[in-house]
Amino acid sequence: MKFTVDSNVLVYAVDSQTPEKQAIARNIMRRATLLDAVLTGQALAEFLNVVRRRAPASFSTARAQAARWATIFPIAGTSWECIDRAAAMAEAHKLQLWDCVIWQAARSLQAQIFISEDLQDGFSAEGMSVLNPFKSSNAERLAALLEA
């Protein structure tokens, strides 16, 4: 099953301040390289923005990591159509626009699972659903996704 990850998963993968979440995020990203995963340009940009704001000294390392991910995974871009669909989704579901941009971009590459802790776990729309990887109740579902 094709999936994408939110910027928070990318951030946790490099953030040693939350070792439990870092371990989960690193496992997701390591397994994703062997599975049907896509990233979005928006998620990569948000990842870089968070690192630049929280740890400016690590920004060049984060840029190198984002570049590695961009060579490994298909990257969904953000067209006007994507933004327009995201705006409609944000309005209809009372969600943050940027989350919807990632959602719509990932859907353009047929992602079915959005791995994120920011959106409501289990939320589903337009053929994709949210899986919060940091909820212990989702451990089996996450493991099954990453073993596929």
pLDDT at residue 99, as a whole number = 96
pLDDT for the residue 8: 97
The pTM score is 0.95
Q: How far apart (Å, rounded) are the C-alpha atoms in residues 59 and 53?
A: 9
Q: pLDDT at position 79, please? A: 95
- Written as tens digits, the pLDDT of the chain (148 aa) is 999 999 999 999 999 899 999 999 999 999 999 999 999 999 999 999 999 999 999 999 999 999 999 999 999 999 999 999 999 999 999 999 999 999 999 999 999 999 999 999 999 999 999 999 999 999 999 999 999 7
**pLDDT, position 28:** 98
Question: How many domains is the chain partitioned into structurally?
Answer: 1
The residue range of the domain holding 127 is 3-147
Rounded Cα distance, 93 and 11, in Å: 25
User: What is the rounded CA–CA span in Å between residue 42 and residue 50?
Assistant: 12
The CATH number given to whatever domain includes residue 21 is: 3.40.50.1010
pLDDT score for 62: 96
